[in-house]
Amino acid sequence: MSEPEECEECGAPRRAGLVACAYCETRYAGAPDGISCPKCGDDNLPTQVRCASCASSLMQVCVFCTQSSSIAANGCAHCGETFEGAAERKAQRAEQLRQQQLMGLAATGMSALGQAAASPTGQGILNEILRDLGQAAMGRKK
Ligand SMILES: [Zn+2]
Ligand SMILES: [Zn+2]
Ligand SMILES: [Zn+2]
């Protein structure tokens, strides 16, 4: 089956890379679902990286892995993150991670203290520290 070289509807020459006529917008027979150009609205073949009509980019860059995927995709083809609200999610995640790290640090600190208090040597050291602190609070009297 050979493809016609012009639009069956209006006779305009077919533009390579588009799935529908740029003039009358009739879908070419057997064409796959296209990517609508955000700039000019022409429907491009899913394999197009740039619009066949106006050369606008049809790719978007993932904020998570910085790889680019087609704007027709719902999510990144590389790491699977959904594009909708990606920037907000990334910021949220960074904040969560920071808090987890803080919590982790706090937890480690607590358990280190707990371990120290559990051993006789550690207890001795803790008592010394507490005594020193107490003396410091009393006005550094020796
Ligand atoms: Zn046409
Ligand atoms: Zn375009
Ligand atoms: Zn990604």
pLDDT tens readout for residues 46-62: 999 999 999 999 999 99
Can you tell me the mean pLDDT for 11-19? 94
Average pLDDT over the chain, rounded to an integer: 90
pLDDT recorded at residue 121? 83
pLDDT recorded at residue 123? 83
Measured from the alpha carbon of residue 55, the closest ligand is 2
Can you tell me the mean pLDDT for 89-113? 92
Residue 142: both structure tokens together: 């020796």
CA distance 39 to 50: 11
Can you tell me the mean pLDDT for 102-106? 92
Q: Separation of 109 CA from ligand 1 center, angstroms?
A: 71
Q: Separation of 65 CA from ligand 1 center, angstroms?
A: 40
**pTM across the whole model:** 0.61
